[in-house]
Amino acid sequence: MKTIGLIGGMSWESTRLYYEHLNRGVQQRLGGLHSARILLSSLDFAPIATMQREARWDEAGELLASEAVRLEGAGADLIALSTNTMHKCAAQITASIRIPFLHIVDPLIAALRADGRDRPLLLATRFTMEDRFFVERLEAANLRPMVPPADDRIALHAIIFDELCKGIVTGTSEQTAKRLIADSAADGADCVILGCTEICMLIQPDTVSMPVYDTTALHTAALVGAAV
């Protein structure tokens, strides 16, 4: 089994989900008492969140790249970043290491293509919805992603940082997310991407009317496949 080098802590709530999914996935694949081999570097999210707000992306990328190098040196066979937003810095990470980096968008693209979806609604932080790094990767795969209107992007961003990153899930926020999904369906969306690793805490696939593609679940499944 290969060792997964996981850069986490952004937030620790979603990293907890990664740890659980990776271990359950390996156990399901191999049976018995098997669990995932993981080297976890769990960062303090507060200074990184400040870098995000202040658009200090190069500095954030240098930090993440240094963690990837540390994990590689400690024996990791592949590197993963347990956050969607910080994939804005993916190029800096891949340039710093010799081992594979599994990008979070690639398993998502494979799933959308397999199901014949091409007009997904992207729900995520404002950075992910508005900065082009995520959307461009989808568009390069001939997909046509859409995002909510500006006011709704602001509201969703606040839900993620003020609630989900702190482990808070409210009925009001769940209804807001469901409304965004319903509105997008009326505008032609054929599915919804949970494009923030915490949003799966808010939206369950069986509670909305469109197919749901959870990047956390897809990314961890691909990591399990690569590891075993």
Rounded distance, CA 23 to CA 119, Å? 32
- List the catalytic residues: 83, 196
Short-list 199, 207, 215, 4, CA closest to 101: 4
Q: Which residues pair with 78 in a beta bridge?
A: 4
Residues 1, 34: Cα–Cα separation, whole Å = 10
Is the Cβ–Cβ distance between 203 and 173 less than 8 Å? Answer: no
Residue with tokens 């802590």: 9
* Residues 6 or more apart whose Cβ sits within 8 Å of residue 136: none
